Amino acid sequence: MNLFKKTSSHWVRYDKYEWKEDAKGVLYITPAENAKPNLYNPLTDSDKMVLHAINTGVTCMNQDADEQIKKNAVMDFVSSYGLLGFMTALSTTPEFITYEAVYLPKNRFIKEESMTTEQYLSYFFPFDKLDFIKRGVESTWSVSEPTMAALVMTMSDRPQAVTMSLLREYAEPYEWLLKEFTDWAFTFLSGFLYYQDFDKLDDMQKDLYRQGMATFGGIAPTYHIELLEKPTIVWDFHSLLLAIQMMFSFMLTDEKSSLKVCKHCGKVFLASRPNTVFCSGQCKNQYNVYKSREKSRKENLPDGE
């Protein structure tokens, strides 16, 4: 059964993104000036997207990788799929615009549990402010640029905050993106190593792995049922972050899914067979060549070395 066969979770990616620092020196990724939006369905090839996210995290948590390599990896993902949509992923509801204030569950990015809507929006619109006015639960906003106005009309059936997070003015802090990708990679590697090294781990180590995995989770998406060829569940993801997180969760727990770490390059991949340990024939050949050279080197070492 494919839980994501039918979905209303369309997302937007732009044809160009750029780095930008605010007045406090905080580095952001934001659509470039005059960048063109493209509406797409991120679940068309969900496995590929989740693997891209995990491998971005593997690069980001590599202590030997310099900062530029990490920045390139994050930008490559964003350029492929768009920003993650932290603004609607972190709040208790994507409908926060209709509340007097924004309420936040405990998270790794914002310590406050509640704040004004304007204060919350300032995290994600640090450069170009929206034409947005809030009075209690009432609010007004407008978009004048034709391309953005067309995007707002296209997304009119979505919560207002979701539409805002897809505008060209929207930005996300690089450190937040880095942290999120790293957490996804850590979650996968924790589960992978837990079962791979199960017989070698003591009880305390096993408990630490379990505790780390237990912290993985987020706000559940909503869904509705449409009467198509037959009654069909349609998922409503209000951020790309939540979509990736939920699909990742199903991949981790699906008995038919076999996520592996390549024995040669360390890349996470979806294995076609349970015993597969290489992500490609090229990696398998390179690994065998390396082992052969190592064996030859050791055999030719002088005695005692």
* pLDDT digits 0-9 by tens, 32-82: 999 999 999 888 888 899 999 999 999 999 888 899 999 999 999 999 999
* Look-up of token digits 């837990």: 194
Q: Are residues 271 and 186 in the same domain?
A: no
pLDDT at res. 98: 94
Q: How far is CA 155 from each of CA 39, 120, 149, 165, 183, rounded to the nearest angstrom?
A: 10, 21, 10, 11, 30
Give the per-residue pLDDT at 235.
73
**168 and 224 together in one domain:** yes
Q: Quick one: 250 and 265 in the same domain? A: no
Mean pLDDT of 119-124: 96
Work out how many domains the chain is built from and give that number.
Answer: 2
In a shared domain, residues 300 and 217: no
38, 84: one domain: yes
Per-residue pLDDT tens digits for 277-295: 888 889 988 888 888 887 7
What residue numbers bound the domain in which 155 lies?
1-257
Is the pLDDT score of 229 beyond 70? yes
Nearest to 235 by CA among 78, 249, 243: 243
pLDDT the model gives residue 103: 96
Residues 44 and 120 occupy one common structural domain: yes
| pLDDT value, residue 233 | 72
Q: Is the pLDDT of residue 253 over 80?
A: no
Give the model's confidence band at 1: pLDDT under 50 very low, under 70 low, under 90 confident, else very high: very low
DSSP string covering the chain:
--TTSSB---EEEES-EEEEE-TT--EEEEEPTTPPEEEE-TTTTHHHHHHHHHHHHHHHT-TTS-HHHHHHHHHHHHHHH----HHHHHSS-TTGGGSSSEE--S-SS---SEE-HHHHHHTT-SSS--EEEEETTEEEEE--SHHHHHHHHHTTTS-HHHHHTTSTT--EEHHHHHHHHHHHHHHHHHHHHHHHTGGG--HHHHHHHHHHHHT---PPPEEEEEESSSEEEEEE-SSHHHHHHHHHHHHHH-TT--EEE-TTT--EEE-SSTT---SSHHHHHHHHHHHHHHHHHHHTSPTT-
Question: Do 246 and 276 fall into the same domain?
Answer: no
Q: To the nearest whole number, what is the mean pLDDT of the chain?
A: 86
- pLDDT for the residue 26: 96
Q: Could you read off the pLDDT of 255-269 as tens digits, one per residue?
A: 666 888 888 888 888
Check whether residue 138 and residue 11 sit in a common domain. yes
Q: What's the N-to-C CA distance of the chain in angstroms? A: 58
- 141 and 36 in one domain? yes
**Range of weakest confidence among 12-16, 154-158, 217-221, 278-282:** 217-221
Q: Are both 231 and 267 inside the same structural domain?
A: no
What would the mean pLDDT of 233-246 be, rounded to a whole number? 84
The pTM of the whole model exceeds 0.75: yes
Confidence at residue 255, expressed as pLDDT on a 0 to 100 scale: 66
Same domain assignment for residues 167 and 285: no
Task: Give mean pLDDT, residues 196-222.
Answer: 67
Checking if the pLDDT of 213 tops 80, the result is: no
For residue 191, pLDDT over 50 is answered with yes
User: Last residue of some domain: 239, 257, 275?
Assistant: 257
Same domain membership, residue 264 and residue 188: no
